[in-house]
Amino acid sequence: MRWIDAYFPFTHPSYELEVLYNDKWLEVLGCGIMEQQLLESAGAGDKVGWAFGLGLERLAMVLYEIPDIRLFWTKDSGFLNQFKDCKPKDTVKYKPISSHPQLYMDISFWLPAGITVDEMKANAMDLIRSVGGDLVEQVSIVDEFFHKKKGCHSQCYRIVYRCNDRALTKEEVNEIHKEIEKQFAETHGVQIR
């Protein structure tokens, strides 16, 4: 480990604590003595303040092999879902996501008699991925209910489309989505809603 002189706003002197990890210096802590003017404006002019911040993102970057700290501020579900429901003992490694935008589309249908909700879940994931291929980034169930008057179940799946090397057009995704709907109706006898 080593301490190095650094600059952090409103502190002087300021330091960083770095640790040597895999032959690279990794920042894990920034700290410094707070400027007295700040303490005086807060009514604590007779005190000395010490500020510090842990580099948790830096540690997570190493732990999960995340290449860019800015990914921690994204709302992209392609990134966030990789860590959803993870437990501390889970081994998770970041899988690169496309820089191109995601396109979301939902598909809702009534299940035919004789097919259970659980059977359809397994079949749906296979069908969607087989038709959409690599352009399907994520599939999730967003709604499921039983209609008492009709006497049948309904399911709604959200499909996230994205390509790694280019932006997809709405028209292109619509074609794939229509084929998925067609395959659901023909293969499983569902009624598209």
CATH number for the domain whose boundaries are 103-192: 3.30.70.380
Residues 17 and 31: beta-carbon distance below 8 Å = yes
Q: Can you spell out the DSSP letters for 72-121?
A: GG---HHHHTTTTT--TT---------SSPPEEEEEEEEPPTT--HHHHH
- pLDDT tens-digit profile of 73-86? 888 888 998 988 88
- The DSSP bridge partners found for residue 19 are 26
Domain boundaries, given as residue ranges, for the chain: 2-80, 103-192
d(CA 61, CA 94): 9
User: Are 55 and 16 contacting, i.e. CB atoms less than 8 angstroms apart?
Assistant: no
Alpha-carbon distances of 126 from 31, 119, 141, rounded to whole Å: 51, 11, 14
* Tens digit of each residue's pLDDT (9 = 90 or more) over 133-173: 999 999 999 999 998 998 889 999 999 999 988 999 999 99
Query: pLDDT band at residue 96, thresholds of 50, 70 and 90?
Result: confident
| pLDDT for 115 beyond 90 | no
Contact 34, 13 (CB under 8 A): no
Residues near 63 by beta carbon (within 8 Å), at least 6 away in sequence: none
Is there a contact between 95 and 82 (Cβ–Cβ < 8 Å)?
Answer: yes
pTM above 0.75, yes or no: no
In the block, tokens 């998770």 appear at 92
